[in-house]
């Protein structure tokens, strides 16, 4: 522990020599920051704090108050992950001698989807996701 010269104020430090700010003082500084309208960097400079320390205090306070959105549930993250699809390319000639300009997707149960435009791939992907769900809804 140290004292500030000319005052009776005792400053507590940790084993690394960092100054420990009491919780009440931190809260007071964060309240002042919210009223000030200053940027975090400028406020930390004026208050004599390292910006990283101040930013950590602010982040912890905002987390406690629920200011940050919750992380998505694990199932939602898995739904957005990469999915693999087996593709078999077969050459089929058109009457004109060239390859067809469409793709045919064969899905379980004998279903077939023919894509003739690249923009239809998004719709086909949505269809495959819907078919993958046991009750026909993504939320099941």
pLDDT tens digits for 23-63? 888 999 999 999 999 999 999 999 888 899 999 999 999 88
Helices (H), the chain: 23-36, 40-47, 51-64, 74-79, 120-132
- Our CA dihedral for 79, 80, 82, 88, rounded to 10 degrees, sits at 70
Instruction: Look at residue 107 and give its three-state secondary structure.
Output: strand
Q: Using 50, 70 and 90 to split pLDDT, how confident is the model at 102?
A: confident
This prediction's pTM: 0.43
Q: In the predicted model, what is the mean pLDDT of residues 90-114?
A: 68
At 92 the pLDDT is 60
Share of the chain above pLDDT 70, in %: 64
The Cα angle at residue 30 between residues 27 and 31, in degrees rounded to 5 = 85
At 67 the pLDDT is 79
């Amino acid at each position: 522990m140290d004292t500030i010269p000319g005052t009776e104020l005792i400053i507590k430090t940790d084993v690394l020599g960092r100054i420990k700010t009491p919780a009440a003082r931190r809260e007071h500084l964060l309240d002042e920051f919210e009223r000030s309208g200053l940027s975090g960097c400028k406020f930390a400079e004026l208050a004599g704090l390292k910006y990283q320390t101040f930013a950590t205090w602010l982040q912890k306070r905002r987390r406690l108050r629920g200011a940050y959105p919750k992380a998505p549930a694990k199932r939602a993250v898995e739904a957005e992950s990469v999915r693999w699809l087996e593709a078999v390319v077969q050459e089929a000639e058109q009457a004109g001698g060239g390859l067809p300009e469409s793709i045919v997707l064969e899905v379980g149960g004998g279903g077939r989807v023919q894509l003739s435009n690249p923009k239809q791939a998004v719709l086909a992907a949505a269809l495959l996701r819907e078919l993958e769900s046991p009750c026909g809804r993504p939320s099941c």
